[in-house]
Structure 1
Amino acid sequence: MGIPADPLLDIIRRSLVNLEFIDRNYREHAVYEITQLVNTFLGAFIHPFERSSKGKAFMAYFTARPPPIAVRYQVNECGGVTYYDFIQYVRHALAHGNMRYNPNEIKQIDSITLWNIRNGRKVLKCTIGTSDMKRLLLDFRDCLEEIYGH
């Protein structure tokens, strides 16, 4: 496989292909598909897409929309959250290690909780389930394809 024309977009496409492969080959109670999902989710949102050739379009597109899922906020002192704000909050939480994996009854990762701290107190805290992570990834890919014109 050669170097893609749009490497940043290709990252999410390849990751979703890997995730689909793992889903098809899943064995009951294996943790690998959830690990791949979480890694793909974290990897997709950490990339600084706004620094790519389509950076301005990326910021405008995601600033004009809310996140495509109903985010469960435990704390939200930040007010209305756009899709772009949400991406930045996820990045900030990851950069500072402000993330917790939440298990289900058989100790699989069921969700992740992310939070942001400002001046020593939590200003944003949310929990994202694995099904919402998958929906976000698919929507994020579709948005990037629209921005890149693919």
Structure 2
Amino acid sequence: MVTPKSLPLGILLFFVLSMLNAQPHKAQKVLAEEARRFEAMTRADTSTLRPMLADELVYVHSNALKENKLEHLAAIASRKLVYEKMERQEASVRFYGKTALVNGVVKVRGILNGNAFDLRLLYLAVYRKKRDNWVLTRWQSTKTS
């Protein structure tokens, strides 16, 4: 039986359970957007990639090369940087309002300035909610075994 005293507790419980249930869906959406970005990078599809990157993007590669949005897109478009394969092996997502932090491991194979690479990277990606999409604002990675 619902009493006036138990009603606020029931409402609070409903909201808490709703939020917990929404988190996995939000995380799946961020990770799906990240997978789309990885796919666009391997296809050198800069027209798909462009809106996925924030104008204020800072992209720090595992070799300490730092790029902004225009530099990153230009490197991919010119084939100076060729991503042949990007395979996420694990990832976890944390939300802070309209910001999502993704910590993960990705296996990357490609060519930079004519030199082949095949790396396993730990990464931190920062996404910001923009309308209904998650756009990448920061990327930083480091090599791991």
Larger Rg: 2
Higher helix share: 1
TM superposition score normalised by structure 1: 0.37
Asked which structure has the greater RCO (Cα within 8 Å, sep 6+), the reply is: 1
Higher strand share: 2
